[in-house]
Structure 1
């Protein structure tokens, strides 16, 4: 009986001790996990700082390149050429500031990375101590980061951007000059169109093709349209009006008298009208709001010019 009692008491105390040990182990494990998370939190905060810096560098890069792009576009538009040059200069300053910021940030992050193992260990020890204030002797934790040293943070090469800046700097003067030439060509083309418009119908009721077609050929309506603005007029309108005019003149041509000389003059006029009609029909114009392909025939105005046409040679 005594032996059984001793065995029972031994088992009871053993179970109690096992329970106590398991309880303490669980508490220690919880503190260890908290200490490990505290150490990892330092690493996480470091990575957040790295990503913030990376985002700032990327934003400055995009801003600088965008400024460069807008500057190049501005150089292609003469009225905005001065603004384009300023945008290019601003883009270069932004990229230079980006490079300086990236170098300083990389240096600071490397220093912070070297201190990271100590910061992680200190954070883990602080969390362990805070969780052991009601325990005799408290808790002591030590966290080790593996690997102990991280890869150095370095600023990469800017080969593509350097090529971009060099290309822009080399070509910006040429772009500005080309834009000025293009603007000058556009201005001359617009002036030529203005002159052609006035000669066709813009000078009405004064001397112009519209007035001649109505007065000499009796053309009206769609055969002799009136355009009150050069913006609605085109060279095709002038060609079609001239073709209708010469067709009407050819159909209506009659000698003014029965005199031989007058009949000869009438025959010459018919030949000229037929020649003009053939030339205008052979003329192909492809006109858009921004371009014109083709050319209108140039009719002789004197005997010397007449000798160079098929009217004289055939």
Structure 2
């Protein structure tokens, strides 16, 4: 049972058929009709003017940063943001940007903290060029930015003439959890990237969305980093099916994450924090005396349940389409067994 990430999801039969039958063209030149259809549908779903297919979420974020930020300028982000922790230093190595991080408990940047982080104009300091937010916030445990929190962050940034980019890798998880359209969540942001290849179960691809002018410039930046593809309709076809059929079922993943957390409650040495809101369960195993890496190793070798260490004592478990109710129970039993064997 692989609970390391929702990126392990495999395409549905409908996606496979759509990929096989996809009409294709040269996507790098804008001639692939299936790619164009995906981009148009993605933009419409999020209430923006245009969209751009990219191979991965990391590239989507990188392209957005290259479009908004110039060398030696600064980006404001949470200290545990994916763009800071898990994108191979692309902000510094490729964009040439500095990052000013804000320490939070839940990944939500409050207006006052953003205000204080924005640089006053000075020849001595880097210029604040972008505020980057993450929905849902990965390493904070799948926490959700509420609509009013996104609006408040954007209001501060825009008052200073600074755009806002949302790493919306799991944006649709947030929309389902909040019970609001994804377009409303991103209404105030200037660009947003979302992944097709996580809980939506497409095999490849992410989409960058924004104004028409932004996307035209982003298209140049995508070319720069090698993200332009040829007959990419075979990828886009699965993405179209994902957008049309896979969003509403994310509620099942959220319910199973909550069920897993409930089944772990009261287990000696185990603490679930924060309580799951979407499809992530953060399990602190410090009380067992084991590191997260060692606990995860015992879980995998002894019970064939895989979890991802995301800190010295914290394991991340992610529910997804291939995890059913029986799997939730088996995972809980396996975690309890490792914890109890350690206690014994």
Same fold, TM exceeding 0.5? no
Kindly indicate which of the two structures has a greater share of residues assigned to helix: 1
Shorter-chain TM-score bucket reads under 0.3
More RCO (CA 8 Å, sep 6+): 2
Could you state the TM-score of these two structures normalised by the residue count of structure 2? 0.20
| Structure whose alpha-carbon radius of gyration is higher | 1
